[in-house]
Structure 1
Amino acid sequence: MDTKKNIENISLLKEKMSDWRKLSDEELFLAVKEFEKMPRLEVSIYYQDLFNDPKFSKTLLDIYNKHKDNTKLVVLLVSAIGNMIQRYDLPESKEIYEFMLENSDKSKIGPYVAIFLPRLKNFESYDKKWEYFMNIKKMSPKKVAESSFETIMDLYLEKIPEHYKTEAIQYFNKKVEESNNEYGKQYYQDIINKIKS
């Protein structure tokens, strides 16, 4: 798909979603599902104004506030907002941070939040940061949870508090044992060595 067509599609989806109260639940879900893919496309300066849009992020949060119990929709909203921040510098608001925090330990949503929450500026002052990090690996879906946990450990490797190091090492030792190729074994072993050093 070319850039011009994408810009057109994104603009139309935003317009449709801005009027979300007129959509049926099914139409809204499909629109959000389609929109969520867009900030994940190859990053382009041409999309900057479309995704760096605080007014539209407020619309996404309004949709969330009305549909908090729709897990699949919430996951899409987490991904859309998270990618808009991470890839297009959407300004992080208090509302966005609270939205992420509110969903950080919810079943089937938490691991997706973990992809973005640790990178939010407001999270730096979160007082239960390490307790949260260590719980991520126990969430479901397991594959996403473990991937998020591993990324976070890699990100904060030098900052792991002493009393969590043993638990982290045990986790990565298990990954070494489960890994079915030398690259995977070595990758996890390197993380263990860095934690120990």
Structure 2
Amino acid sequence: ATYAALKVIELGGTVLTMSDSSGVVLEEDGFTKEQVEHVIHLKTVKRARIKEYTEFSKSAKYTADAKPWGITKAEIALPCATQNEIEEEDMKKLLDKGLKLLSEGANMPTVTKAIHMAKEKDVTFIPAKAANAGGVAVSGLEMTQNSERYQWEFDEVDDKLQSIMKEIHDESLKISEELGHKGDYQLGANAAGFKKVADAMLAQGQAFC
């Protein structure tokens, strides 16, 4: 979640909340890059709880034993922690606060009913198999570096990752349109994933009828 927050800031967005299993911190004017980097230090170096961030930022508001969903008005939600963290009641709060896009940064963080609720309200839903594919993609890039004895700089890896993610986005969107549901990234990603596996199986002479 912390690096997703940095990417949002880099792209000109405003990060309003960050959380862990103990609670949520809110920056009403948005987190700065420096503030997110301090959260990264707290979590990766000090192994501290998110509450300690309030000692660094006097403008932060901490809510214990809470989820970030619906804490404040927001158009985008990025669940990046664990499975089933957005439940039906959480989705109701997000929709009430103006949700327009939900992009999963973890494996299955949104329960099925909540996904249906979002799509019924025309919220753009990006499933984990597409939005969270970056981790697997970078693992592949690491294997390439190891096998070829290369060591790429951060920016080069990021450029390659962006290219991969754009391809995933474009393919999901293209197939959703071909199936008559343009913009349904869940359908597009599912169909694109199936097609890739099926094509590979057929190319190897394996088919199940």
Q: TM-score, normalised by structure 2?
A: 0.30
| Structure number with higher helix proportion | 1
| Structure number with higher strand proportion | 2
Q: TM-score, normalised by structure 1?
A: 0.32
